[in-house]
Structure 1
C-alpha cells in the first residue's frame, strides 16, 4: 500500500486513516505475519499512522499511544500539523466521524487548499444529497421545490467570533488552555446567514475560486461561494464560504406519522377492510365504528385495531 502524502504541516493524513487501518488489520490477521510501516526517515508520517492505529485498536489516548511508539523508536516526531490531526482524531473518540462539526470544518479547509493549489474536486469529495424526505429535515428550492441539502449540511458559527469560528484548530483542547486568547464575543449561534458545506450538485460550479450557486433544476440563483472566505453580517469571517440566501429556500421538516387503524367490518355477509388515519385516540375510532351501520366482524364481536 502506498499513501501519497507529503511531510508538511498542511498535508492531510487524517482522512487516510481508515484505509491505513484496514490495511494493517488485514496484514495482521494471521499470527505469524509481520508488517512494516515506513516513510522517508521514519520520524513523522509513519509514526503518525502508528500512533493513530494504537488509538483506534487499543483505545489509547493520544499521550499514551505517542509514548508507546516513542519507547520503541525514540526519534519519532510528527510534524505540528499531524499532531493537530491526531488531537482532532482523539476528539472524535479515535474514529473518523463525518458528522463531527470540527471534522467538517477541517475537511472544508483541506478542500479550499486543494482548490487554491489548482486541483480539481470529485463528487466523492462533496457531501451527499441523498435525502430521505420522510424522516429528514432539508432545504428545497423556493421556486421549483427541488431538494437541495440537509439541515446537517448547515455550517454553524457563533455570533461575531471572527476567524476562529471556522478554524478547527481553535476548538482543540490544546488551544483552549490558559494563555490562549479566544476571539469569541458571543456564544450564541448566528442566524443572520445560511452557510453550508458543498454538496454534490455543486460539483461543476465550484471549480473557480468564486462564483454563483444556482438551483440544479430551475437555475434560480440561490447564493454564492468564495473559497477564500467572506465576512458574515455578524462579524465572523467564514472560510471557505458557501452562502445560501435564506429567502430562496424553504426549510422542510418531516411530518409526524398519523395513527393508522385497520378496521374489519361485516355488512350483509360481505367483509369490508378499511384503514383509518386519525390523530384521535383508539376510543374515538371505537366510537366511530360503533356508530357505523355495519357491525365489526370479530370472533369475540369486539373491535380489532392495529395501531401503527
Structure 2
C-alpha cells in the first residue's frame, strides 16, 4: 500500500491515475496499482523500454495554448475506457503531470460522468494539487462541454467553426487572407433555419442574411452583463453595421485572397458592405475579427413575422380563422 501512495489516483472507484514522466520509473507502484494501460500526452523521444509491459498510446502535443488537443479527446477517452473495462489501472502522464495529462483526464471525466469542466478539474486536483491546464486547453475543454462531449468531434459544427476561427487568427498573425478552401461559409453548414428577422438589400430587396448569422459583440454583451434581455439587433442599435459570418453569396469576393474589400448585392450589384480579414472597428468601438459587415444605411431589417404575414395565402387571416368562417 505504501507503493500505491506514490501514484496520484483520481478520487472514486475508477483505477485512473495521473502523473509525470518520473512516475513511469516507479515500477513497484505501477505493479501495485495494476496498471495495464499508459497514455502519454507529450512530444518528446520516449524510451520504449518504459512501456514494454503496458498497452501504450501516445498523443504528440506540446504544452502550448494554440495546440489542438481537443481533436484527440475521443481517442484518449476510448483508450482510458478500454483500460478500465479490462479491469486494470490506467496511467495518464505528460512531462510534469500538470497540463496536458490533466486536460485528457478532465475530458474523460466530463465524458464519463456528464459533469462540467470545473467539477472535473476539482476532482483531478484532489489527486494532484499542481494540476493547471494552460488557458488554451481550458477553452478547449469548455468547448468540449458545450458540444456535449461527442464521440465524433471533427464532424461537429461547433468544432469546425472553432478550427475556422483558429485559421482566421493564424492568417491575421501573418497578415494574409485565409486560403479559399479554409473559409467556412456558415449557411452551408447550418440546418436550423429559425431566425427572428432578415436583412435585405434596400435597393432590390434581395435577402442577404438572417439573424442567426449575426456576430455578437460588445453592445449585446454589455446589455446582457447588466441584466438586460435584449436581442443582438436591439443591443446593437447604435452600431452602423451588421457584422456577419461569411455567407455563400460572398464567395466570389472572399475567395479572391484579398485582405479587405467591398461586398456587393449579388442581384443588383449595389455596394452593401465591406470586409477585412484582419478585423475592423465597429462604431460602438468593439474590434471584430474577421470584420465582415453590411452597412445599415444600405440594408433593411424585416421581421420574420412580417415576412410570414406578407406570404400568407390570400383569404387567410392572421389568426387563420377567415377561411373556416367562409365555409
Structure 2-normalised TM-score?
0.54
Out of 108, 124, 135, the residue aligned to residue 80 of structure 1 is 135
Q: 1:219 to 1:25 in 2, by over 3 A?
A: farther
Conserved in 2, the CA contact under 8 Å of 1:12 and 1:110?
Answer: no
What SS is found at the alignment partner of 1:139?
strand
Conserved in 2, the CA contact under 8 Å of 1:225 and 1:241?
Answer: yes
Pick the structure with more helix per residue: 2
Aligned positions of 1:152-231 closer than 5 A: 152-159=212-219, 189-191=235-237, 192=239, 193-203=241-251, 205=254, 207-216=257-266, 219-231=269-281
- Report the equivalent of 2:184: 125
Task: Find the aligned partners of 2:110 and 2:69 in 1 and give their Cα distance.
Answer: 15
What do you get for the CA RMSD once the two structures are aligned? 4.8
- Report the equivalent of 1:21: 74
- Report the equivalent of 1:272: none
Q: CA deviation at 1:194?
A: 0.9
Q: Tell me the number of residue pairs that the alignment of Structure 1 and Structure 2 aligns.
A: 244
Q: 1:4 to 1:129 in 2, by over 3 A?
A: farther
Task: Find the aligned partners of 1:36 and 1:201 in 2 and give their Cα distance.
Answer: 51
Task: Find the aligned partners of 2:59 and 2:265 in 1 and give their Cα distance.
Answer: 37
Structure 1-normalised TM-score?
0.56
- Report the equivalent of 2:298: 248
Q: 1:115 to 1:104 in 2, by over 3 A?
A: same
Q: 1:79 to 1:141 in 2, by over 3 A?
A: same
What SS is found at the alignment partner of 1:223?
strand
What SS is found at the alignment partner of 1:110?
helix
Listed one character per residue, the Cα deviations across residues 82-125 of structure 1 (whole Å, up to 9, x for unaligned) are 234435656x48558x999xx99977753431212455363673
Listed one character per residue, the Cα deviations across residues 115-157 of structure 1 (whole Å, up to 9, x for unaligned) are 1245536367341247889964433444555543321111233
Structure 1 spans left out of the alignment, 5+ residues: 166-170, 172-187, 261-275, 290-308
Larger radius of gyration: 1
Listed one character per residue, the Cα deviations across residues 167-214 of structure 1 (whole Å, up to 9, x for unaligned) are xxxx9xxxxxxxxxxxxxxxx722222111223444551643322233
Moved more, 69-78 or 144-153: 69-78
